[in-house]
Amino acid sequence: MPRYSALIKNEKLSDSLRENEPLAQYTSWRIGGAGEFYTNPSSELEIRRIITFSQAYQIPLTILGGGSNVLLSDRGLKGIVMHLNHRFAGYEFLPDGRVKAKAGTRLGTLIRKAMALNLAGIEQLWGIPGTVGGAVVMNAGACNTETFDVLESVTSMTPEGEIVVRHKHEIHHGYRYSDYKYNGEIVLDATLQLTPTAQEIIRANFDKADERRKPQHNIRQPNSGSIFRNPQGNFAGRLIESLGAKGRTYGNAQVSLDHANFIVNLGGATASDTCQLIASLQADIWEEHHVQLEPEVIFLGEF
C-alpha cells in the first residue's frame, strides 16, 4: 500500500472520496483501469483542499474533465483523481453577450442555451464532446472555429491554491493547446464573449458545421474523438484513409469505418490494444508519406 494511503483516508478531503474507483465509466472511450482514490468536488474550497494536500505530501494528482480526449492506462491512475463534472458545473449569462461557465459544464449544454438566446460564436463547436474546462485546456475547435476565438478570460487555481484570472492576451494558445495543458493549473471557469445574432444566421452556421461532422455523428461505438492532430496542410483522416486502414483492428480497438481519424472500442478494448493500433498507423504513415502524426489524445497513467 502506498505510503500516502493512510494520510488520504484520515484527511477529510471531500465527501465524494472513494477508493479503487473504476475510471473507464467516466471516459467516452470506456477504457482504463481504476483510480487509487477518486473524488468529484462541488466547490472551489474542496478543490483547493485537495490540490494543496496533494502538493504538501507529494501525492500524484490527475484532473479528469469530460473524459472525451483521454486514454487511461489499463493499470489505472495512482494517487488522487479529481473529476470536474456536473457537480462543478453551471453558467451565467452576463450583459453584452458574455457568458461565464464553470469548468465542469458540458460544452453541448452551453451551446444549446446560447443558441436559444440568439448568441453566436460557439454554435460551430457543436458535436465536440467534453466540458468547458477541457475546451479551454485543449483550445478545442472544429469547422474553422476555436474556443479561444470567443474566449475573454479564464479563472484557474495554481498547485498552491492561488486563484489566478488571465485575459486571452495573457494566455499562450494555438492549435489544440493552451498554457493550461502544461502549467499545472486547474481551470475553474471561463468567460466567453458571444455576439447577439439573428436566429437564422446562427442556425445556418450550426447546420453547416453539423453537416461537416456527419461522419463523426454516425459513429456509435465508444471513442475519444480525433486521435491525431492534423499535420500542416493535410488531414490525419485523409492520410490514414490513403492506407486503406479504415477497419484496421488490434484486439478490440478498431479504426472507425466512418471516419479514419477515430478509433472505436468494439467492446472490451484495452489501452494496450489502442496504443498498438495508434503506433501501427504512425509507422505506416511515416513509411508511406514521411509525415509524423502527433496524437491529439492525452495519455494518462503508465503505458
Active site residues: 176, 226, 296
CA distance 260 to 198: 36
Residues in the chain: 303
What are the distances in angstroms from CA 73 to CA 63, 128, 186, 270? 14, 23, 22, 8
Nearest Cα residue to 135 out of 146, 145, 124, 143:
146
Angle subtended by helix axes 107-116 and 199-212, to nearest 10: 150
CA distance 192 to 35: 33
The enclosing H or E element of 67 equals none
Nearest Cα residue to 104 out of 16, 33, 214:
16
Q: What is the CA radius of gyration of the chain?
A: 20
CA distance 208 to 12: 49
Task: Count CB atoms within 10 A of the CB of residue 302.
Answer: 12
CA distance 202 to 165: 30
**Amino acid at the residue 62:** T
CA distance 144 to 104: 24
